[in-house]
Amino acid sequence: MSYRYLGNKSRISDWIVEIISNELSVGSSIVDPMCGTGAMSESLARHGYSVTASDILFFPTLHAKARLLPITDSHFQELGGTYEKTIRLLNSLEPEKGFFWREYSAEGKPINGSRPRKYFTGDNAAKIDVIRSKLIEWKSEGKDSLAIDRLTHDLLLSVNKVANISGTYGYYCANFGKSSLAPINLTCSPVITFEGEMKVFQSNLMDTANKVEADAFYLDPPYTKRQYGGNYHILETIARHDYPEPAGEGGLRDWKSTASDFCYKRKAKNAFLEAIKNINARYIFISYSDDGQVSKDDLLELLSNNGDVVLYERPLERYNSNSNGIKKSHVTEYLFQLKKREFGVVQDKRSMVA
């Protein structure tokens, strides 16, 4: 899945799973409660784990469902007949100038009086509108929900390919690039079946921690002050099938209810404390970075107060959405492994760097 997503772990997923597999046997249960694009959830499933994926935002859960949950042509019987035929049906719909055309295209006239928001060409925005309308219609008719989720996932991926953005949806580019001028086109996503038990739902970290028991949790919290709800507002609107009131020049939906404490320097440390306290699992694996709001030493100390900690480090070339002529830099990725104390028994604290 090609995706411009903050903190995506696709490049190091094998490294992370290899470390996890040193502690957890195949068939163990693991929760990925900040699943993002679902890359780590899928990697864990491929290695034989039973995976529960969730996220505070709605659109990541559609990606996780597409990666983890089995689907067959029978789910599309009342739509287009088969998965492939349904995709063809959606691609053949005549464009209609609706919400996306008005609010997010170069030809539109935003309702708040802002200048046209050039996230998409007029043609692509009108195609997004008609496909969204059809999906919403099917949903209101009670058609198969897993099929509609899969098709919405496919729409999200096709939208991402033609979006006129430099990396995220916080704002659009002044001029259209070659990819954003191409016509939008939905394609079928791969269908994969795993042996373990797979679950996916929308929920915040604390609610997931309080209601799910597992052998391990894998946490991939935000590192920086950039809130995902604001940076991916358009994808969230598509996923929710709703019509929010776009605000400001960038047309953001109201994302404050999904704001993460991990993005705030003064709140991030306590967010880690609360998560560790509420997670009901023997192991907690935490992906982090030297770009994070909490320093490596502070996080080591915090985790060591709750069990035995091992820290793994890996240098990685920093992702840059426009690296032409720019000197490449590196970031150090961390994986903290916490083995929690059982039944409140105090053990000797130890912190190791591997």
Burial of 154 (0-12, 13-18, 19+ CB in 10 A): buried
Residue 316 lies in a domain: yes
Examine residue 130 and state whether it is found in any structural domain, yes or no: no
Whether 158 maps to a domain, the answer reads no
Kindly list the distances between the CA atom of residue 212 and the CA atoms of 139, 199, 223, 281, in Å, as whole numbers in the listed order.
28, 11, 24, 9
pLDDT the model gives residue 325: 44
Q: What is the CB-side half-sphere exposure of residue 216 using CA atoms within 13 A?
A: 28
Contact predicate 150/66, CB 8 Å: yes
**Which pLDDT score, from 0 to 100, does residue 316 have?**
83
- Give the pLDDT confidence score for residue 27 in this predicted structure: 95
Tokens of 349: 């604290």
pTM: predicted TM-score of the whole model, two decimal places:
0.91
The list of the chain residues with pLDDT below 50 reads 321-327, 343-354
Q: How many domains does the chain fold into?
A: 1
Is 278 inside a domain boundary? yes
Res 7: pLDDT: 61
Predicted pLDDT at 5? 63
pLDDT at residue number 320: 57
DSSP helix/strand/coil, 314:
strand
- Decide if 234 is inside a domain: no
In a domain, 60, yes or no: yes
Q: Is the residue at 287 inside a domain? A: yes
Domain-embedded: residue 145? no
Report residue 331 as tokens.
């970031």
What are 175's two structure tokens?
A: 């001029």
The domain of 345 spans: 11-70+192-222+260-354
* CATH number of the domain encompassing residue 29: 3.40.50.150
